[in-house]
Amino acid sequence: MQKTKVLIVEDNIDNYELVRFLLEHSGYETFWAHSGREAITMLKTERADLILMDLSLPEMDGWTATERIKSDPQTKHIPIIALTAHTLPGDRKRALDAGCDGYLSKPMNLELFAETIEQVLSKAKRKRKSGPIL
Ligand code: MN
């Protein structure tokens, strides 16, 4: 069976290593983009079942990258979870307004991390099953 493949968009290598470790430990396959622009480029050739999106990124921030991914018919079905230290009031709403399907704040709560990923993935799966086949 094919492993669920997660794109980690993160410019901080320590955060990236931690997220990659947690995901691979849970049986997910991962790949890495260090900016919003790189994420969009990679999605043209690589399959992703889920995106974990940092918001403060070089070249193109996570809000903009999310909007682009969600407005492209080729990639709009991919669920996106914002993963960010932006925990000011309104940041959560701004991430969801940009099209994110979920939101996790740093530093991470490990239980919530796993739970949110499972929820967002199963919701996306249900949506694909009931939606029109494009
Ligand atoms: Mn960052």
Which pLDDT tens digit goes with each residue over 37-91? 999 999 999 999 999 999 999 999 999 999 999 999 999 999 999 998 877 778 7
Percent of the chain's residues with pLDDT above 90: 75
Ligand 1 mean position, distance from CA 117 (Å): 20
Ligand 1 mean position, distance from CA 123 (Å): 27
Per the CB < 8 A criterion, the answer to whether 120 and 50 are in contact is: yes
- Judged against a pLDDT cut of 60, whether residue 134 lies above it is answered with no
Ligand 1 mean position, distance from CA 97 (Å): 19
Instruction: Give the per-residue pLDDT at 44.
Output: 97
Ligand 1 mean position, distance from CA 57 (Å): 5
Instruction: Give the per-residue pLDDT at 67.
Output: 97
- Judged against a pLDDT cut of 90, whether residue 2 lies above it is answered with no
Ligand 1 mean position, distance from CA 74 (Å): 25
Q: Which residues contact 106 (CB under 8 A, 6 or more apart)?
A: 15, 83, 84, 85
Ligand 1 mean position, distance from CA 104 (Å): 14
Instruction: Give the per-residue pLDDT at 50.
Output: 98
Tell me what the mean pLDDT of segment 6-19 comes to.
Answer: 96
